[in-house]
Structure 1
Amino acid sequence: MGKRAGERPPIPEALPVPIVDAHTHLDACGAKDAAGVTEMVDRAASAGVTRVVTVADDLAAARWAATAATWDERVWAAVAVHPTRTASFTDADRAEIEALVRQPRVVAVGETGLDYYWDYSPPVAQQEAFRWHIDLAKRVGKPLMIHDRDAHEDIYRVLEEEGAPEKVVFHCFSGDAEFARRCADKGYVLSFAGTVTFRNAHAQRDAAALIPSCQILVETDAPFLTPHPFRGRPNEPYCAAYTLRALAQLRKVDPAELAAEVGANAERMFDLPRTTPREVGGSER
């Protein structure tokens, strides 16, 4: 990327049908206050990404996300403690997460799950916290948003042992076609980030090509995982439009058709109000 490594990618042409960035981190993208959130979501809306779910990975981020969701009507939140932060996960932490997740603009319990790539938290602690988050999602009746890194079989096993909530989202799905088929058979929804556009992501592309369109979401996981050809540059919610178009090409469908499907999937999964085409390009506020 050379001199452009620190520059945001260009904002693409607006999608013909609005979509939701199903997983982003607005705080990590630099949106520290209400004005910053609105500016960032305005950019996303200009590309047809008219709503976002900003996601927490620790208690401080959970507090911020729940508050940020009240600053702009296009922002919703998900809260949990990330598996790499679970080495010390106290009763007080659990009580605060539960109080936050019950707030009306918090639409999911996440991101939670297992991460065996990093060694910040031992697997036993991660699994105990994951089981608690599963139970929380069932008790509050909200979707479970899963972080799964190098832990496919244990994630699947724990969901089987605990009994999965009604709605399960695999954030930034990283499995292969066989694992995708098993998850789809369980009714789980798979969310695809910019990784599916990477040249070496053959397994993820195979997975994205085969699952039913009613079980697909699109996300950025911004500021990480910027889609090709902008890999390595800062990511933002508007870049979900690049991933949506790449998925449409992969699945050999019209982008408008896929956008309508994934937009409806996000509304169903997160119990969001239905949107209208005239919202593309900006907020109606």
Structure 2
Amino acid sequence: MSSKSAPPPLPEPLRVPVADSHTHLDMQEGTVEEALARAAAVGVTTVVQVGCDIEGSRWAARTAAAHPGVHAAVALHPNEAPRIVLGDPGNGGPRRAVRPPGGDAALDAALAEIDALAALPEVKAVGETGLDYFRTGEDGVAAQERSFRAHIEIAKRHGKALVIHDRDAHADVLRVLAEEGAPERTVFHCYSGDADMAKVCAAAGYYMSFAGNVTFKNAQPLRDALAAAPRELILVETDAPFLTPAPYRGRPNAPYLIPVTLRAMAAVKGLDEDTLAAAVAANTAAAFGY
């Protein structure tokens, strides 16, 4: 295995345990047990496992039910809704195949399954849902928005957190949330807005979860947003296996790398790592209600 494809080494453990607020264990190498053990060894004692389609959401719920340190989030990813309605592969996301168009009825059936999963106690959130204009063209926007609005309703009805996926769609995501009325607990996963948007999110009480890309050289606007975000609304995540933090960018990501990102975040915020870790741990528990 080349150094570029090898898993990064375990970082120095955190002294204050934290949670990985967004990960995809089903897309990572090895077993769930191995991933959780590595994470716990460095102070990452809780993870939120996020589903992106029906199969993945069922898997998330089963995994959370089997492991006390795992909580589930269930949803149709924004790129999944156009695939269901249009049969469009969408050029987005792993493990996806071209499928025939199913239309609005197929989307309604899929949303009904998410609704049923959202009622389970091990499911703490509905998401990741939202809008993604990077991978889905104009013909898929209507399906994305209809799915997003349905997820908001499901989250509110079940009293669950809402996990937002927002890619190149900031204004429309904020608009839909305002029109529908956001759930009491709303998390912007892999926050990607600027400092001005961070202030808008803070005013609305939305949590902002920062991933490994906050460490990238070209990510100064993201660091500016982190600096502007209130300490009580900040979460940390891996989005593993994606967005591995520097200096390991391009290698496989996993929950055990949370300390690398958290330490970079602490430097941006001008806080010692224990102070930020304690805040993030409390924020994540409040956001997801566990």
* Structure-1-length-normalised TM-score: 0.92
SS at match of 1:3: coil
Equivalent AA in structure 2 for residue 15 of structure 1: L
SS at match of 2:2: helix
Match runs of 1:64-143 below 5 Å: 64-87=59-82, 88=84, 89-119=106-136, 122-143=140-161
- Offset at residue 227 of structure 1 (A): 0.3
Q: 1:47 aligns with which of 39, 42, 45?
A: 42
Bigger shift: residues 105-114 or 116-125: 116-125
Equivalent AA in structure 1 for residue 158 of structure 2: V
Distance in 1 of aligned mates of 2:149 and 2:67: 32
Tell me the alpha carbon deviations over residues 106-137 of structure 1, each in whole angstroms, 9 at most, x when there is no partner. 11000000000002671111001000001111
- Offset at residue 142 of structure 1 (A): 0.6
* Match in the other structure for 2:252: 234
The higher-RCO structure (CA 8 Å, 6+ apart) is 1
1:212 correspondence with 2:230: yes
Distance in 1 of aligned mates of 2:115 and 2:61: 12
* Match in the other structure for 1:18: 17
Does structure 2 conserve the Cα–Cα contact (< 8 Å) formed by 1:23 and 1:55? yes
Does structure 2 conserve the Cα–Cα contact (< 8 Å) formed by 1:37 and 1:72? no
* Match in the other structure for 2:203: 185
* Match in the other structure for 1:281: none
Distance in 2 of aligned mates of 1:201 and 1:113: 22
SS at match of 2:25: coil
Equivalent AA in structure 2 for residue 55 of structure 1: V
* Match in the other structure for 2:4: 5
* Match in the other structure for 2:288: 270
For these two proteins, the number of residue pairs brought into alignment is 267
Distance in 1 of aligned mates of 2:150 and 2:179: 12
SS at match of 1:174: coil
Distance in 2 of aligned mates of 1:30 and 1:6: 12
SS at match of 1:52: strand
Distance in 1 of aligned mates of 2:176 and 2:263: 34
SS at match of 1:62: helix
Equivalent AA in structure 2 for residue 22 of structure 1: S
Identity of aligned residues (%): 54
Does structure 2 conserve the Cα–Cα contact (< 8 Å) formed by 1:148 and 1:170? yes
Distance in 2 of aligned mates of 1:132 and 1:91: 9
Distance in 1 of aligned mates of 2:195 and 2:108: 38
Q: Please report the RMSD computed on the Cα atoms of aligned residues, expressed in angstroms.
A: 1.2
* Match in the other structure for 2:88: none
SS at match of 2:65: coil
Runs of 4+ in 1 over 6 A off after TM superposition: none
Distance in 2 of aligned mates of 1:105 and 1:130: 22
* Match in the other structure for 1:280: none
Distance in 2 of aligned mates of 1:225 and 1:90: 29
Distance in 1 of aligned mates of 2:286 and 2:182: 17
SS at match of 2:73: strand
SS at match of 1:267: helix
Does structure 2 conserve the Cα–Cα contact (< 8 Å) formed by 1:114 and 1:151? yes
- Offset at residue 237 of structure 1 (A): 0.4
- Offset at residue 68 of structure 1 (A): 0.8
